[in-house]
Amino acid sequence: MTNRTPVHDVLDPGQQREEALAVYGVLFDAPQRELQALVDIAAQVCAVPRAAINIITSTQQQQIATTGFAASICAREDSMCAAVLDDTDRVVVPDASLDDRFRENPFVTGILGTVRFYASAPLTTPDGVIIGRLCVFDSQPRELVEAQEEALVAIAERVVDVLELRLRTRELEDSLAALTQTRDELHRSNEALSVFAGQVSHDLRTPLTAIMASTEMLGQQPAVAGDVWTGRLVATAHRSATRMAGMIEQILAHARVGAELHRADTDLDVVLASVLEDLAPTLEARSASVMAGELPTLPADGQQLYSVLLNLVSNAVKYARPGVPPVIEVSGERRGESWRLSVRDNGIGISAGDRDLVFGLFNRVETSVDGSGIGLATVKRIIEAHGGTIGISSVEGPGTDVWFELPAVVDGPDESDATSAA
């Protein structure tokens, strides 16, 4: 996007004007139709045969729209508008041949023209830089009434508005192109990550499976089973291989999940019911209780939101306080165009300084509980792929309140086919 930072304290007026003209690009790509309409109106309002939008550079006057004659370029020293360029108000001259500023000008003396009546208003940018003037003129002396003079100033302001609109449109188009390129690059990165993770997982899974099978069989051999020390080493090797296989599966899931969305109307009450059914043995073993309010139906990928709720409810059980049965509350609340879902527990909690860290890949702030540090990073990836946000709120007393917000409605066509995610 073009830098519009004012440079008045650094550049002199001439440099400021050149910078502004470069930003607008008006000398090479003026919005002809809009400017032509304005210059025509100026001539009609002032009841004169000729009018022009004159842009003044360090060396020239360039007419970017005219009425009553063909646009041209002249030397700056010959320009009538350049003679009053720095005047911040309207200039109205009934007879230029009698005005000290213009009597020797070639457009007045007959060398280039025989202008008598001349009036103009400055073209002033929002940064206060005068880049030219809107002028009306005639070969006969005349005067303007106050309403005509005010209209001339107003039309000059509209000229600058047109230039600003063209600039903003160009900036938005550039930003959109950059965002589109970034989106495409992220999509390619997601695809490459998924392919890479799949290949690495496949390459690692095969030898790990052999190690797990070998250590399991080795542990069953009489010579190993009868030796406490050897049996312990073999069991440790088997557990480590099993844990590594689990981490590989989690890394693969993190790479793939959220990369494609298959949106459909998803009843989160049904999704949560599936989560609780699958976690029933764990919940019973820890004497955990889950209380759920009525949850919404959203346009979302049901399988991926299952993974989100499964992870959050599992964490609520996993990070319970010693000797305290977990109590988990799942609720939903409509907030404007979004739904906020909350999973709140009475566990050990997360300090304020660690609440952002837990969503990073491999970040673990509580090392007393087994975990890979991949789960919440995957949850965040899924939520953001849906166009949502996720965070952790403070709660009174012990515990954690993990929330995420998802759009209640998704603009555009039904996204039953795959949607790329950043």
User: Cα separation of 158 and 128, whole Å?
Assistant: 15
The residues pairing with 121 across neighbouring beta strands, listed in sequence order, are: 134
Asked if pLDDT for residue 381 goes beyond 70, the answer is: yes
Task: Give pLDDT, residue 152.
Answer: 95
User: Which tens digit of pLDDT belongs to each residue from 298-308?
Assistant: 999 888 888 88
Three-state secondary-structure class, residue 292 = strand
pLDDT of residue 422 exceeding 50? no
Q: How confident is the model at residue 257 (pLDDT cuts 50, 70, 90)?
A: low
Write the pLDDT tens digit of every residue in 103-159.
999 999 999 999 999 999 999 999 999 999 999 999 999 999 999 999 999 999 999
pTM of the model: 0.48
Position 219 scores a pLDDT of 80
List alpha helices for 220-258, DSSP H. Answer: 222-225, 228-256
Report pLDDT for 125.
Answer: 92
Lowest mean pLDDT among 26-30, 79-83, 247-251, 305-309: 247-251
Assign 371 a pLDDT band (cuts: 50, 70, 90): very low
Segment 300-354, tens digit of pLDDT: 988 888 888 988 998 899 888 888 999 999 999 999 899 999 999 998 877 776 6
- Widest CA span in the chain: 122
Question: Torsion-angle region of residue 68: left (phi > 0), alpha (psi -120 to 50) or beta?
Answer: left
Whole-number mean pLDDT of the chain? Answer: 82
Mean pLDDT of 279-286: 87
Asked whether the beta carbons of 331 and 342 are under 8 A apart, the reply is: yes
Strands 117-124 and 91-93: antiparallel
User: What is the pLDDT at residue 120?
Assistant: 96
Mean pLDDT computed over 266-279:
90
β-bridge mates for residue 91, sequence order:
120
Task: Note whether 376 and 311 are within 8 A (CB).
Answer: yes
User: DSSP assignment, residue 353?
Assistant: G
Name all domains of the chain by residue range, CATH numbers in brackets. Answer: 13-170 (3.30.450.40), 258-422 (3.30.565.10)
Q: What is the pLDDT of residues 165-193, one digit of tens each?
A: 888 888 888 888 888 888 778 777 766 66
287: left (phi over 0), alpha (psi -120 to 50) or beta: left
Instruction: Dig out the tokens for 116 from the structure.
Output: 């008598």
More confident residue, 422 or 116: 116
Taking residues 361-377, report their average pLDDT.
Answer: 51
- Rounded to the nearest 10°, the torsion over CA 67, 72, 73, 75 is -80
**Candidate ranges 80-84, 232-236, 388-392, 406-410; pick with highest mean pLDDT:** 80-84
Calculate ∠ Cα 60-78-145, nearest 5°. Answer: 105
